[in-house]
Structure 1
Amino acid sequence: MPAAEQPIPSVWTRPRRTREQPALSREQIVAEAVRLLDAEGVEALSMRKLGTRLDAGATSLYRHVGNKDELIELVVDEVYGELEVPEAGDPADWRAAVAGSAHGLRAMALRHPWVTSVLGQAGLSYLGPNLMRMSDRLLALFKAAGFPSDEADQAMKAVIAYVIGAATSEAAYLSMLARSGRGEREFLESLHPSTEEAVQDHPELREGLAAQRGRDPQRVRDENFAYGLERILDGLGTRLGGGASAG
């Protein structure tokens, strides 16, 4: 078969096998994979290790999941299932609904810090049922607000790109923090002498560092995320006419 006619490799593009093992299901495999990823990170994920945790051989797993790439697609869609996106209602409520969904996406990414690091490996992740449900509802929110169909899709992607970009950096930081075995305040205080020395020749950074000293670092992270999100929603609101961007 010519290369151009080869099927695209993805768990979402091939029929699901109907012959299931009573003792092991795809759902069990995916749930255990998520627990493994949450506990040990993406570097620890292998079909062999997952099979050991399930008290099953890797061959048993391959009856339900073709390979590790398919497993990544499945676990990504699994955690997207945690998101709650409201149904479209009053057009005036679009901003609060989109903001709530964005905060929910960030919270999911921080609960599962491995997810942002595997999105590039997730193949046709947008075909996953949970991700499709989220996207469909977000599109409905933007369309109810008054965005035309093509711009609703662009607006949705702009918000998601901001959330994933911000959450990727934050998740990496929190993973490093977890590896340090220290609390966030303690960790930042231990870095303060080195950071203070590094900013001595940079007056704007030095002023910013002094202003943040002693503040709750989690609150700072929350405020930074909210600021960026609100400015994106401000910009999108201007596309709807006067008053639509009011927070």
Structure 2
Amino acid sequence: MATEQQPIQSVWTRPPRKRDQPALSQAQIVAEAVRILDVEGVDALSMRRLGTALNAGATSLYRHVANRDELIELVVDEVYGEITVPDSDDPARWREAAVVGAQSVRAMILRHPWIASLLGSVGLSYLGPNVMRLNERLLAVFVTAGFPGDEGDQAISAVISYVIGMGTTEAAWLTTVAKSGRSEREWADQLRPAVEAAAQEHPHQRERLVQDDVEADPERLRDEKFRYGLDRMLDGLAARLKR
């Protein structure tokens, strides 16, 4: 006997909830949830905490979201709406568009460091309207460049995986710096003696530290490291196009 399939649980797959002139809008709820996440982090966000911040009872919230999982889907899609990808009508400028899009994704992650810890556990967040629009614009960039549709998907995945990986590392670093109460430069300077001590038995790393510009701006170094990896990724995709 065939077993009855259970519906997939997601804010994007269920019918919209009926609302009789609710005191709160979904936009207000999502905006406040993002604010809590930005200020207090993922662990602080609960339906109760959100209701308190909005001076609203649970009933008002549940008119829009069934649970915290749906709320997370909504906030992830909300911040993805901040990402910019240029128009893709010029095949010769696909790389420029890809760079702008990649840098915009990175900037979003650094504005909202909590996003890094949610990307692997956000259910069907990738069905949200902002994510779908982003994917469509990115796919248009790569298809216009000359990649077949299926390979365009793979190219997007490679670039975005790199950006998320680097952005997650940066977000973790900046979160640690923020908790210290020091500037990024002050934290790096204070950490350097421990790094030098740890590198003493590792000649390649020791030599690299000797060559480092200790006066360099840490933010500029992060920017350069990100752009180096992105450029090498795009070099590989450009070579693929030529073949």
Does the TM-score normalized on the shorter chain lie above 0.5?
Answer: yes
Write the deviation string for residues 115-169 of structure 1: whole angstroms up to 9, x where unpaired. Answer: 1111112111110000000000000000000000110010011101100111111
1:83–1:108 contact (8 Å) kept in structure 2: yes
Aligned length: 241
Structure-2 residue corresponding to 1:223: 224
Alpha-carbon shift at residue 20 of structure 1 (Å) = 4.5
- Per the normalisation by structure 2, the TM-score is 0.96
Gaps of 5+ in 2: none
Quote the Cα distance in structure 2 between the aligned partners of 1:32 and 1:21: 19
- The residue identity in structure 1 corresponding to 2:116 is T
Quote the Cα distance in structure 2 between the aligned partners of 1:208 and 1:9: 50
Alpha-carbon shift at residue 208 of structure 1 (Å) = 1.6
Alpha-carbon shift at residue 18 of structure 1 (Å) = 3.2
Quote the Cα distance in structure 1 between the aligned partners of 2:74 and 2:164: 18
Report the CA distance shift for 1:170/1:17 in structure 2 as closer, same or farther (over 3 A).
Answer: same
Alpha-carbon shift at residue 4 of structure 1 (Å) = 5.5
Structure-2 residue corresponding to 1:239: 240
Quote the Cα distance in structure 2 between the aligned partners of 1:66 and 1:171: 30
Structure-2 residue corresponding to 1:76: 76
Alpha-carbon shift at residue 58 of structure 1 (Å) = 2.1
Quote the Cα distance in structure 2 between the aligned partners of 1:3 and 1:65: 28
Once the two structures are superposed, the pairs formed by residues 135-146 of structure 1 within 5 Å of their partners are 135-146=135-146
Quote the Cα distance in structure 2 between the aligned partners of 1:29 and 1:138: 29
- Per the normalisation by structure 1, the TM-score is 0.94
Write the deviation string for residues 78-106 of structure 1: whole angstroms up to 9, x where unpaired. Answer: 00001111121110000000011000000
- The residue identity in structure 2 corresponding to 1:139 is L
Asked whether 1:23 is paired with 2:17, we answer no
1:12–1:127 contact (8 Å) kept in structure 2: yes
Quote the Cα distance in structure 2 between the aligned partners of 1:20 and 1:137: 36
Once the two structures are superposed, the pairs formed by residues 153-168 of structure 1 within 5 Å of their partners are 153-168=153-168
Report the CA distance shift for 1:40/1:91 in structure 2 as closer, same or farther (over 3 A).
Answer: same
Quote the Cα distance in structure 2 between the aligned partners of 1:217 and 1:187: 10
Quote the Cα distance in structure 2 between the aligned partners of 1:16 and 1:90: 39
Report the CA distance shift for 1:204/1:117 in structure 2 as closer, same or farther (over 3 A).
Answer: same
Write the deviation string for residues 213-237 of structure 1: whole angstroms up to 9, x where unpaired. Answer: 2211101100000000000000000
Gaps of 5+ in 1: 243-247
- The residue identity in structure 2 corresponding to 1:156 is I
Quote the Cα distance in structure 1 between the aligned partners of 2:127 and 2:90: 29
Once the two structures are superposed, the pairs formed by residues 71-150 of structure 1 within 5 Å of their partners are 71-150=71-150
